[in-house]
Amino acid sequence: MAGHDSSSLTSRDEDFPRWYQEVVAQAELAENGPVRGTMVIRPWGYGIWELLAAELDRRIKDAGAENAYFPLFIPESYLRLEAQHVEGFSPELAVVTHGGGRELDEPVVVRPTSETVVNSYLSKWVQSYRDLPMCLNQWANVVRWELRPRLLLRTSEFLWQEGHTAHATAAEAQAYALQILRDVYLDTMSTVLATPVSAGHKTARERFAGAVRTWTCEGMMGDGKALQMGTSHELGQNFSRAFDITFATAEGGVEHAWQTSWGVSTRLLGALVMVHGDDHGLRLPPALAPAEVVVLVVRSTPEVEAQARAIVEGLISSGHRARLDARVDTGFGRRSVEWERKGVPVRVEVGPRDLADGIATVVTRHSREKRPVALGEVVGTVSELLATVGPVLLAEATAACRQRTTEVTNVEEAIEVAGSGFARLPVAAMGPAGEDRLAGHALSVRCIQHADGSLFDPAMTGAPTLEEQPDAGDLVALVGRSY
Amino acid sequence: MAGHDSSSLTSRDEDFPRWYQEVVAQAELAENGPVRGTMVIRPWGYGIWELLAAELDRRIKDAGAENAYFPLFIPESYLRLEAQHVEGFSPELAVVTHGGGRELDEPVVVRPTSETVVNSYLSKWVQSYRDLPMCLNQWANVVRWELRPRLLLRTSEFLWQEGHTAHATAAEAQAYALQILRDVYLDTMSTVLATPVSAGHKTARERFAGAVRTWTCEGMMGDGKALQMGTSHELGQNFSRAFDITFATAEGGVEHAWQTSWGVSTRLLGALVMVHGDDHGLRLPPALAPAEVVVLVVRSTPEVEAQARAIVEGLISSGHRARLDARVDTGFGRRSVEWERKGVPVRVEVGPRDLADGIATVVTRHSREKRPVALGEVVGTVSELLATVGPVLLAEATAACRQRTTEVTNVEEAIEVAGSGFARLPVAAMGPAGEDRLAGHALSVRCIQHADGSLFDPAMTGAPTLEEQPDAGDLVALVGRSY
């Protein structure tokens, strides 16, 4: 395959943004599209996304949501029905003015998110309490015009899932937004992405346009900056009032539904690079590796090929995604570097010399450790190794995040330490003016959580927003510089 | 759930187009979107699409193609690089003129298909014979502005997969286009959709804009009209010349790659309705049923609920998609009709009276046959029944198609019989003028095949197009009226 080479990577510590770009290119994850800000997701990147999407999809269905598909094109007038929503998204819209060779009567926008169009249908489909909860999800592309695009992290078009739900009570909607946050997002982040995240809610300043509360998962990248990795919004009755989503109650009344929306995107592939990558490229947790193991033929002989094939088959029989690399007309060194850049968790090298000794060489990507393994034990050894990779990557990332997180007592201290890491600032010591002051230093409150890292429980207070919460108690603002 | 009701359906024979619309609506497959020509795919319709896409995806991967994702937005100038291509698609384009609040320097089109953008990347990624074949596929939405939209069949936006490949020789490309036609499309049509199709190649008039040969699968709908269900194109070197896709040969030369592209879309859901639907709604082959079995609680007692749950669990343990319908605050009749409209292959009804007799009632959707089954035998009986449904639907559809297919000897005869069915007209008796004459009667050549229904084998002649094939031999044109 073309497009990669064995040229050396910039070191991560030397120039993190450049290192990131090089890894994305050399691991063949993605490239810039021809229209500024768009991207091409290459097979290796898309393979990771397929695995991640399947993990998310299973959890979303377990949470009771059904998949559906809503149109890409939304009448401009729909956006205007929720005032905050249109204000938030207007600057990012792509607008179609011509269709089928003619100017359109009403321009249509390419969806930046689908609250408006989904809710215009929920107003038809939700009639009675019997129809609730109605929990929908869609896998789709969305477009938000980006002035400072960055591959995978901030692109004018990206892929995502977006959930949209309607419930009979505020408490149910709140509970569902949290269920998605915990059972879908937090669980996937730790067990699949092997990435530690801080969860909490957003301040009013950082809230989704149209939400009453936004829950978020914030990850710390390898340079100490923060990445918003997923959000789950309580929409209250904002959209159900704008789109007239009402239902007949069991008691004969009529009420507006309570709603949520939530999403994660291909941005998570960028997080994967920035959390787990090293100076040799990507390091993949096996759960997201299109190939968990690649068996390389070092130099071809009939015996070597047969043995390599037997190992691949043994690994596949053991339930692993394993591939054979017998492209011996490409140099072995070049191929090794290719799989290393791509982050394949384990490589098995089979060559004539090793074979004569009855062994193969097993290389662990995350530690770069090589070890000779007797041929009869390769499959078992690789299986055991693979089981350890995810937990090790998670432990490493957790340690790095802890090391760069500092408890502070006032805004000035937060300004000093945040940016190359997180500062944890008591909300009581911040105040609304504090948030402005942080913004002046390109810092923001990534989320609010309890001092022990747990989520602020809205059910305990009933306060719909932090601002209406008179006593911040032990709440802490996680301060960082955001991607 | 709202949106359905137990109102009667128009009969299929009485008014086929109206019957189709009603089934699509009442089975909750899809609805019109707010922008004319677009559609909302509802959970039941999308669930069918997910199953179909998974079946296709597995076969596409088995054929050696890898999934990737290319941008929605394509610079207008790209479309112009292949002359026939731009001519074919220009009238259907949606054009974005504004992004991020400004007028764009160059308008971008919303992809109607992705040959141009994919091939602009293949020109980078394909360098050496070692890079070939390069076989890519993407699952995506595409936009073709429709003046006469029809839900699922012809919509301004639809979902599909599109494959794009590059090969070292014409023969390889040809073989791959046919491999996709046979191993992916024809196999899925018969074993998954339970739908008979006629396969062959298109005449120049009906060929894909930019292809040298288009292979197609043509299905006969319940009204005798033809639906193009999937196409696989040989692109020759048309795009590789336009986009400069060259590779270094093993011998040190430089050549243009030979290419294919191929796709099927959500239109197949429309085919499912029109092939298998009856006067009571949709009839689903189990392979595409989001629920293969629904177990209905007729009237709730603790014993009935427990028994119904046990049956659902037994069916799930046996590997079936089974659902419980215990919504007893909705009338039983209404729920039965709902599942009938949706085409669930088998229903199991559990009520207090049956339970007292130690039985449940098993209803087969396609035959509407009801039978009492001893409780201990329900799971086994349902499993056996389900195995028969696909083959029965295929046999019924095949018989209907045969019955409406007529062998004719000249164009006038074809005009007489085609439209409410297919006419099989010897190519030698048609000639180019014959195709014009058919067009005057809103008929077209759906495909060319051998008299025995087999594919014309291009490898036997080397002729790149039918027109260059001097002797039509026993070739037959399948003439019909197309959707």
B67 in contact with chain A, both atoms CB, cutoff 8 A: yes
* E strand intervals along B5-61: 30-32, 39-41
Asked whether the bond before B133 is cis by omega within 30 degrees of 0, the reply is yes
Q: Beta A102-110 vs B444-450: how paired, if at all?
A: unpaired
Q: How far is A398 from chain B (nearest CA, A)?
A: 32
**Interchain proximity B1–A125, CB inside 8 Å:** yes
Confidence of residue A466 (pLDDT cuts 50, 70, 90): very low
Structural element, H or E, at residue B136: strand B134-143
Nearest CA in chain B to A114: B40
Task: Report, as an integer, the average pLDDT of A85-89.
Answer: 83
pLDDT at A37: 95
Q: Which of A200, A88, A236 is nearest to A427 (CA)?
A: A200
pLDDT score recorded for residue B464:
47
- Give residues 415 to 434 of B whose Cβ lies within 8 Å of A: none
Q: Taking residues A136-158, what's their average pLDDT?
A: 96
Please indicate if any CB of chain A lies within 8 Å of the CB of B117.
Answer: yes
Closest Cα in chain A, distance from residue B73 (Å): 7
Per-residue tokens: A64: 């009771």
Domain B291-388: give its CATH superfamily: Anticodon-binding domain (3.40.50.800)
Strand partners, A297: A350
Q: How many CB pairs under 8 A join A and B?
A: 187
One-character DSSP codes across B428-480: GGTHHHHHHHHHTTT-EEEEEEETTSPPP-GGGT--SSGGG-S--TTEEEEEE
Whether residue B40 and residue A70 make contact (CB cut-off 8 A), yes or no, is yes
DSSP classification of residue B69: B
Q: Does residue A3 carry a pLDDT above 70?
A: no
User: Would you give the distance in Å from CA A208 to the centre of its chain?
Assistant: 17
Q: For the residues A38-45, what does the mean pLDDT come to?
A: 98
Could you tell me the strand order of the sheet in which B444-450 lies? B66-67, B134-143, B157-167, B258-265, B226-236, B213-220, B197-201, B444-450, B475-480, B422-426, B405-407
Can you tell me the distance from the alpha carbon of A1 to that of B68, in angstroms, rounded to the nearest whole number?
15
**B302 CB within 8 Å of a chain A CB:** no
CA distances from B277 to B24, B271, B422 (A): 10, 9, 20
Chain A residues whose CB is inside 8 A of the B110 CB are 72, 96, 110
Residue B1 has its nearest CB partner, among A43, A110, A131, at: A131
Per DSSP, which regions of B193-241 are E strands? 197-201, 213-220, 226-236
Could you identify the residue written with the tokens 């197609």?
A: B216
- Confidence at residue A464, expressed as pLDDT on a 0 to 100 scale: 47
8 Å CB contact of A40 and B131:
no
Which pLDDT score is estimated for B470? 47
Q: What is A16-276's CATH number?
A: 3.30.930.10
Work out whether the CA dihedral B147, B151, B152, B158 comes out positive or negative: positive
Q: Does B124 touch chain A if contact means CB atoms closer than 8 Å?
A: yes
Contact B287, B321 (CB under 8 A): no
Residue B229's nearest CA partner among B447, B30, B60 is B447
Which candidate, B267, B173, B162, places its Cα nearest to that of B218? B267
Whether A35 sits inside 8 A of B74 (CB atoms) is yes
**pLDDT computed for residue A107 by the predictor:** 92
- Select from B73, B108, B157, B328 the residue whose CB has the most chain A CBs within 10 Å, as the one to mutate to test that interface: B73
Chain B nearest-CA residue for A67: B43
> What end-to-end distance do the CA atoms of chain B give, in Å?
32
Which residue, B108, B84, B78, is CA-closest to B96?
B108
A91 touches chain B (CB under 8 A): yes
Positions of chain B with pLDDT lower than 70, given as ranges: 1-7, 459-472
**C-beta atoms of B46 and A33 within 8 A:** no
> Is B443 in contact with B408 (CB distance < 8 Å)?
no
- Within 8 A of B77 by CB-CB distance, chain A residues are none
Whether A110 sits inside 8 A of B93 (CB atoms) is no
Confidence check: pLDDT of A216 > 90? yes
pLDDT number for residue A83: 79
Among candidates B3, B95, B131 on the partner chain, residue whose Cβ is nearest the Cβ of A96: B95
Rg for chain B, CA atoms, rounded:
25
Q: Do A43 and B141 touch (CB under 8 A)?
A: no
Q: How distant is the alpha carbon of residue A443 from its chain centre? A: 21
What percent of chain A is modeled with pLDDT above 70?
Answer: 95
Q: How confident is the model at residue A88 (pLDDT cuts 50, 70, 90)?
A: confident
Residues B368, B373, B376, B377: what is their CA dihedral angle, to the nearest 10 degrees?
-60
Tell me if domain B16-276 and domain B291-388 are identical in fold.
Answer: no
A244-300 confidence digits (pLDDT tens): 999 999 999 999 999 999 999 999 999 999 999 999 999 999 999 999 999 999 999
Question: B44, B66, B96, B156: which to substitute to probe chain A, counting the most A Cβ within 10 Å?
Answer: B96
Facing residue for B73 by CB, picked from A35, A71, A126: A35
Among A39, A67, A99, the residue with its CB nearest the CB of B94 is A99
DSSP three-state, residue A154: strand
The DSSP code for A14 is T
Residue A90 sits at the chain B interface (C-beta within 8 Å): yes
**Which of A4-13, A429-438, A471-480 is predicted least confidently?**
A4-13
Which of these, A395, A404, A405, A284, lies nearest to A345 by C-alpha position?
A: A284
Question: What is the spatial distance between Cα A261 and Cα A113, in angstroms, rounded to a whole number?
Answer: 10
A240: left (phi over 0), alpha (psi -120 to 50) or beta: alpha
The interface residues of chain B toward chain A in range 356-375, judged by CB-CB distance below 8 A, are none
Q: How many CB atoms lie within 10 A of CB B112?
A: 22
Is A108:A73 a contact under the CB 8 Å cutoff? yes
Minimal-distance CA residue of chain B relative to A100: B92
- What's the pLDDT at B469? 54
Indicate the helix (H) or strand (E) that contains A395. Answer: helix A378-403
Complex prediction ipTM? 0.95
Q: Which sequence spans correspond to the domains of chain B? A: 16-276, 291-388, 405-480
User: Would you call A125 an interface residue with chain B, using a CB distance cutoff of 8 Å?
Assistant: yes
Q: What is the DSSP string of B245-313?
A: -EEE-TTS-EEE-EEEEEEEETHHHHHHHHHH-BTTB----GGG-S-SEEEEESS--HHHHHHHHHHHH
Average pLDDT over residues A55-73: 98
Picking from B2, B35, B108, the nearest residue to A35 by CB comes out as B108
Q: What one-character-per-residue DSSP string does B297-349 give?
A: ESS--HHHHHHHHHHHHHHHHTT--EEEE--TTS-HHHHHHHHHHHT-SEEEE
Mean pLDDT in chain A? Answer: 94
Nearest by CB to residue B96, choosing from A95, A117, A124, is A95
Could you tell me if A158 and A177 are in contact, meaning their C-beta atoms sit under 8 angstroms apart? no
Chain B touched by A148 (CB under 8 Å) = no
Give the torsion through C-alpha atoms of B334, B337, B341, B343, to 10 deg.
Answer: 120
Confidence (pLDDT) at B471? 60
pLDDT of residue A6 exceeding 50, the answer is: no
- Contacts of residue B138, defined as CB under 8 A and 6 or more positions apart, other chains included, come to B67, B68, B69, B70, B114, B118, B161, B162, B164
User: Which of the four pLDDT bands, split at 50, 70 and 90, describes residue A38?
Assistant: very high
Question: Are the C-beta atoms of B82 and B116 separated by less than 8 Å?
Answer: yes
pLDDT (0 to 100) of residue A140: 98
Q: Which of A26, A29, A40, A266 has the highest number of chain B CBs within 10 A, making it the mutation to test binding with B?
A: A40
Per-residue pLDDT at B82: 80
pLDDT score at A171: 95
How far the first Cα of chain A sits from its last, in Å, is 32
Q: What is the pLDDT of residue B457?
A: 75
- Determine the Cα–Cα distance for residues B217 and B224; give it in Å rounded to an integer: 15
Of B421 and A467, the one with more pLDDT: B421
